[in-house]
Chain A
Amino acid sequence: MESWYFIIDKLLPFAWTHHIFMKNALLAVLLVGPMFGIMGTMVVNNKMAFYSDTIGHSALTGIAIGILLGFQDPLWIMVVFSILLAVAISLLKYYTTASTDTVIGAVSATMVALGIVILSRGGGFAKFSRFLIGDILSITPREIYLLIIAFAAMVLLWTAMFNKFLLLSVNPTLARSRGIRVRLVETLFCIVIAVIVTISIQWVGILIINSFLILPAAAARNISINIRNYHVISVSITLISGITGLLLSYYWSSATGATIALVAAALYLITLLLKPRFA
């Protein structure tokens, strides 16, 4: 971390970079942003916005279970819980005749209600509201290392699996005919989203985490013509909105996650206006 602080002091000798917490937050934004930018492209391709939203909301129940079991830091319980949930949702999708939308909606509603009931017992919900809004400024170097590991793991997995994910998003039977084990790959994809959303949630916030995933990809989609520039644009948008949002939130004293999401939304609107040129 010392070398990162040194680089920032040399490259960006501004008032806001004097604070260690801003240097940490900047690094976190540079890690979380691209991770969500890359993952979001595939989430949007697969029309899974509602799924990732559910995973985010279900973090409440993960936190609640962690607290019930007596953990100070419920992160690992949350991760395990989100993986179980991802597997459960993919199983439900196959074994019920209800539409995916309904299944996910039912799970989402149940999880939010359960989480709120457990956390609000005795009137103590207010102390968990930091999870709703997220606080990237409080991130510690140890937590940044965790994000670096998650980022590296995701890039490795994407390198190995991306083409399979893409064929699956085009047509599952077509993917199967080309030797892809459809259910396994699909479940793996759901698990990766669940894990990354969950470990990022306390920095970004339950209420807006989905906008991190969806907005950059949706914006990129408006102005890209192939997979490569889809990714380049999506990652660029996360970086631009991440850095701009972080700065604006510093000067406005607003919640960082939401400010970043607003910048991303503005970029989405701009690409929407540009869309006719690329159609």
Chain B
Amino acid sequence: MNDRAITRKQSQACGLCCTKLESFGVTIGKTEILRDINLHIHCGELTALVGPNGAGKTTLLKAIIGEVPHSGTVRFLDIKNCHTRKPLVGYVPQKLEFDPGAPISVLDLFSAGLSARPIFLGHSSRQREHASAILSVVQAEHLLERRLGDLSGGELQRVLLALALEPCPDLLLMDEPVSGVDAHGRELFYNIVSDLRQRYDLSIILVSHDLVMVARHADRVVFIDRTLQCVGTPQEVFSCDNIKRAYGFVYQQNIEGKDSSFEYKIKGVGA
């Protein structure tokens, strides 16, 4: 791992800085999608956001990013400077929907995201080194010259994760980053994310349906369905009545058994 790659890194996660959502809500047209969300997300914590389809998980992320208008506030409390501000957000999308034949290389994507120099003119050697250094954090430096469409699902998500980490965000948002990725790719991705949270001063919100991975890696679980239903440690949330109703008790058994080889395909809980 290359420590120099990330511009803002703390020596150890203090757990004191945090991101706060206060009376957060989203209404589109006449439909209330989310209401009254109050959340306190600490740095160095991996918070998993779970809930049934249509619960508003993706909308919550989009509202935090600012793509969807919202009510209430989102603030970041920076412990070093003792003030609050809008958090710098990194985002890892769900499976990208793009033409796999698109001639966009990983380096193109990074240069487009990190510099103003138009990439049809090519890349400077500094850009190349920089991108390679960031990619090494997610063990993907060998993918630099590859086309996005030629990457496997897991590789592409690691590349997108690396891009989201530069510049180092206060809040890292991931929307089902590894749905549809094979078991090995998922495991690698979660291990990298788990490691990041300990090494860098950032809070992570991860949307996932993969409750086994959530149970294994998340520090906190937030179960939402239009509004907050349960918040707490994985054990606390998974014993909450609402989640049993939403996901069925099959999940419960698997989480207790921690059987990661089990594939989740339960009616109503797709990607």
Contacts and interface: CB of A to CB of B under 8 A. Distances in A.
Given A162-B118, A176-B67, A171 B96 contact: yes
B90 A177 contact: yes
Contacts of A138: none
Nearest to B92: A174
Interface of A: 38, 45, 47, 158-160, 162-163, 166-167, 169-174, 176-178, 182, 220-222, 224-231, 279
B180 interface: no
Given A163-B119, A170-B96, A226 B147 contact: yes
A269 to B, nearest CB: 16
Interface string B148-168: 100000000000100110000
Nearest to B120: A231
Given A221-B103, A229-B103, A173 B112 contact: no
A279 B244 CA distance: 47
A166 B105 contact: no
B107 interface: yes
A178 B103 CA distance: 22
Contacts of A227: 103-105, 108, 119-120
Q: Is the interface of B mostly helix, strand, loop or mixed?
A: mixed
Interface string B79-114: 000000000011101001111011111011101110
B118 A170 contact: no
A135 to B, nearest CB: 32
Contact of A172 (B67, B115, B118, B147): B67
Interface of B: 61-62, 65-67, 89-91, 93, 96-99, 101-105, 107-109, 111-113, 115-122, 145, 147-148, 160, 163-164, 173, 175
B58 to A, nearest CB: 9
* 3 closest cross-chain pairs (CB), A and B: A177-B91, A226-B105, A163-B112
B120 A173 contact: no
Contact of B103 (A163, A174, A177, A224): A224
Contacts of A166: 104, 108-109, 112, 119
B125 to A, nearest CB: 15
Nearest to B91: A177
A226 B107 contact: yes
B261 to A, nearest CB: 31
15 contacts: A160-B116, A162-B119, A163-B115, A163-B116, A166-B104, A166-B109, A166-B112, A166-B119, A173-B93, A174-B163, A177-B89, A177-B90, A224-B103, A227-B105, A227-B120
B102 A45 contact: yes
A162 B120 contact: yes
A37 to B, nearest CB: 11
A172 B67 CA distance: 9
A221 B102 contact: yes
Contacts of A45: 99, 102, 104
A228 B127 CA distance: 15
B91 A170 contact: no
Given A177-B91, A182-B67, A231-B120, A170 B115 contact: no
Contacts of A178: 113
A229 B147 CA distance: 12
Given A47-B99, A177-B65, A228 B89 contact: no
A228 B121 contact: yes
A174 B160 contact: yes
B120 A221 contact: no
B62 A173 contact: yes
A158 B118 contact: yes
B247 to A, nearest CB: 26
A65 B215 CA distance: 64
B22 to A, nearest CB: 21
B118 A225 contact: no
Contacts of B91: 173-174, 176-177
Nearest to A180: B113
Contacts of B103: 220-221, 224-227, 229-230
Contacts of A229: 103
Contacts of B145: 225-226
B162 to A, nearest CB: 13
